[in-house]
Amino acid sequence: MRIIESLASQGAEAVILGCTEIGMLVNQTDTEVELLDTTYIHAQKAVECAI
Q: Say what the pTM is.
A: 0.81
Residue 9: per-residue pLDDT:
97
Per-residue pLDDT of 1-50, as tens digits, reads 999 999 999 999 999 999 888 989 999 999 999 999 999 999 999 999 98
Q: Number of C-alpha atoms within 13 angstroms, CB side, residue 37?
A: 13
Using the predicted structure, report yes or no on whether residue 51 has a pLDDT greater than 90: no
The answer to whether residues 20 and 43 touch, using CB atoms and an 8 Å cutoff, is no
Residue 34: per-residue pLDDT:
97
Residue 19: per-residue pLDDT:
87
